[in-house]
Amino acid sequence: MTEPLGMILIDVLDESTVDAASTAHAVRVCHGPSDTHVCPMLSGDPCQLADNAHGVVFALDLDRPAHRAILAAYKENLRDDVPIGVAVRSEQMSQYADLLKGVRVWDHVPAAGDLDALAAEVEAADDLR
């Protein structure tokens, strides 16, 4: 019997900007914090989505301090074998270079090939667990 593929968490304000249908992995979407919803990772509470993620696609806006804090929390709290892909505008690559160290960076909306590459990293990490 085949083991289920690990879950990929997609942090995105607008789901239509990321084509998650191209992956065979389970996908969960988080729309980030809002005026009525505080991200548990920012309040020090556990986040089941993050805790169960085998990979993260981060497409929130790094110009927002709360979104930068979430990415920093992922980098600090997720296992080292959980790949993180971050979609940024090209000017953000240099502006947030320190924050983006150690993650896969896309200067475009992640397409099927980008997600496939991240999914391959997830599968490799899952195989080693």
Give Dmax over CA atoms of the chain in angstroms.
47
Structure tokens at 112: 């099927």
CA-nearest of 65, 79, 82, 91 to 121 is: 82
The dotted CATH code for 7-124 is 3.40.50.2300
* Cα(39)–Cα(30) distance, integer angstroms: 10
Residue 16: predicted pLDDT: 60
Residue 70: predicted pLDDT: 95
CA-nearest of 76, 19, 82 to 44 is: 76
Domain ranges of the chain: 7-124
Backbone angles phi and psi of 71, in degrees to 5: -60, -45
- pTM exceeds 0.75: yes
* Cα(109)–Cα(129) distance, integer angstroms: 30
Residue 1: predicted pLDDT: 38
Residue 33: predicted pLDDT: 85
Burial of 40 (0-12, 13-18, 19+ CB in 10 A): middle
In tens digits, the chain (129 residues) has pLDDT values of: 344 567 889 898 876 666 665 566 778 888 888 888 888 988 888 899 999 998 999 999 999 999 999 999 999 999 888 999 999 999 999 999 999 999 999 998 887 788 888 888 887 877 776
Residue 115: predicted pLDDT: 80
